[in-house]
Amino acid sequence: MSFTPADRLKNVRKSATRRLYDSAPPGSINLGLGEPDFQTPAVVRREACRVINEELNGYTMNAGLLRLREHIAAYHAADSMAEYTADSVCVTNGVEEGLFAVVMALAGPGDEVLLPDPCFLAYPSIAEIAGTHATSYPLPAANRFGFDANAFDRAVTQKTKLVFVSSPSNPTGRVLSRKDLRHIAQRLDGSGIWVIADEIYRELYFDERPASIAEYYPNTIILSGLSKMMSMTGWRLGWVVGAVEPIRQITLMHQYASSCASAISQKAAVAAFTDEAQQATAEMREELGRRRDVMTAAIERELSLPYISGEGAFYVMLDVSRFGLSEKVAMGLLKFRVITTPGGAFGAQAEGYLRLSFSIKAEQIEEGIRRMATGLSESPNVV
């Protein structure tokens, strides 16, 4: 049977993360994992069980449960120039659906969308599906993937409609400093450009809690949720926060994409704002810090390759450029039963790197690095 997909998908491919995972042999250690391996906090799980057993769970309002949106608004209002209310929030099926709703609602064919390089691999794909023109500002590998003010200034043009910032970053874990955020705000002041701030990793940090650009720039749309900070990836609970009028349009887009997020997940998510749940996140941060130390020590001991470890999230960028293109290196390492993520999937600046995740148990981290060392020493060309 003949089949031709719509033109909007002609340049969209299955993500490198999924391609690697789907090709992995049994018994592989997953150092490409993009989710925490912790249990969801007990208070959230208890509330979910109660809701399932005791309540009717039909559709909610398109924007989400009022009491949940009130909690989310208060959570973000503490770090913003704006005074958020429940009407400033749209609850979505994870941050990625929120990202889709934002781009589809605020930009269209011919609009310029400015992305960081490297960036989460869904950004350019969604920009492509929306028919926008995606350009990038480099976070140079030579600068340890740090913010480059001059490069950012050059990348912003009169055609720019949306600017994406991500802090902490996926894939690098780097955090934008207050100086960086002030520079972005000053450069965009008076332009009418909307900043899309991906803050899904904001509660996973190793020193000072990252600042939000919403503290400095009023035209900010925040993307966040519970997937990372509460280890709730499978619950599909994210949100979009911003000024009421754009949120109204984003909610309209969300309505026709999925009606509403899961009522059970939304009701359980209210418990994520309790002290008990916040303590669970603090404990996860501490454990991730220990695992980061395990991974960097193993890299230095077994691989002796350059690496960049960020201030947040749970990733290390390993320089494997001496072995060839990152996707070929990652594919080659599958023969040694270890999954990694090629940096090239995130943009040109990350080519030559592998993104390694330390969101798995310490003993698996060490064994995974040993397998990489074996693979790179026994087969230095990897492919």
Give yes or no: residues 246 and 296 share one domain: no
Q: pTM for this one?
A: 0.94
> What is the per-residue pLDDT across 31-42, written as a single tens digit (0 to 9) for each?
998 899 999 999
Cα 198 to Cα 202: distance, rounded to the nearest angstrom: 9
* CA dist list (Å): 246 to 70, 71, 102, 214, 220: 18, 20, 9, 15, 10
1 found inside a domain: no
24 found inside a domain: yes
Confidence of residue 82 (pLDDT cuts 50, 70, 90): confident
Q: What residues make up the domain containing 164?
A: 44-273
69 found inside a domain: yes
Percent of the chain with pLDDT over 90: 89
Domain boundary among 251, 273, 295: 273
Give yes or no: residues 166 and 258 share one domain: yes
| 380 pLDDT above the threshold of 70 | no
Give yes or no: residues 245 and 296 share one domain: no
Coil, helix or strand at residue 308: strand
Domains contained in the chain, number: 2
Confidence of residue 382 (pLDDT cuts 50, 70, 90): low
Average pLDDT over residues 317-334: 95
Percent of the chain with pLDDT over 70: 97
More confident residue, 14 or 264: 264
Which CATH number does the domain housing residue 72 bear?
A: 3.40.640.10
Cα 265 to Cα 66: distance, rounded to the nearest angstrom: 14
2 found inside a domain: no
Give yes or no: residues 187 and 80 share one domain: yes
Give yes or no: residues 210 and 133 share one domain: yes
Burial class (CB in 10 A: 0-12, 13-18, 19+), 37: middle
Average pLDDT over residues 145-166: 97
193 found inside a domain: yes
Give yes or no: residues 93 and 215 share one domain: yes
Give yes or no: residues 188 and 305 share one domain: no
Confidence of residue 81 (pLDDT cuts 50, 70, 90): confident
Give yes or no: residues 176 and 163 share one domain: yes
Domain boundary among 254, 273, 292: 273
What pLDDT was estimated at residue 210? Answer: 97
Confidence of residue 383 (pLDDT cuts 50, 70, 90): very low
What pLDDT was estimated at residue 323? Answer: 95
Q: What are 241's two structure tokens? A: 């926060």
What pLDDT was estimated at residue 12? Answer: 74
Give yes or no: residues 319 and 257 share one domain: no
* CA dist list (Å): 270 to 48, 264, 290: 10, 10, 29
Packed helices 94-106 and 244-258: angle between N→C axes, nearest 10 degrees: 120
| 253 pLDDT above the threshold of 80 | yes
131 found inside a domain: yes
More confident residue, 110 or 217: 217
Which CATH number does the domain housing residue 333 bear?
A: 3.90.1150.10
Element (H, E) at 309: strand 307-309
Give yes or no: residues 214 and 166 share one domain: yes
Domain boundary among 217, 244, 273: 273
Q: What are 255's two structure tokens? A: 């309505």
Provide the β-strand partners of residue 114.
135, 163
237 found inside a domain: yes
Give yes or no: residues 188 and 208 share one domain: yes
Mean confidence (pLDDT) of the chain: 95
Give yes or no: residues 52 and 161 share one domain: yes
What pLDDT was estimated at residue 3? Answer: 78
Confidence of residue 301 (pLDDT cuts 50, 70, 90): very high
Nearest to 328 by CA among 379, 288, 377, 292: 379
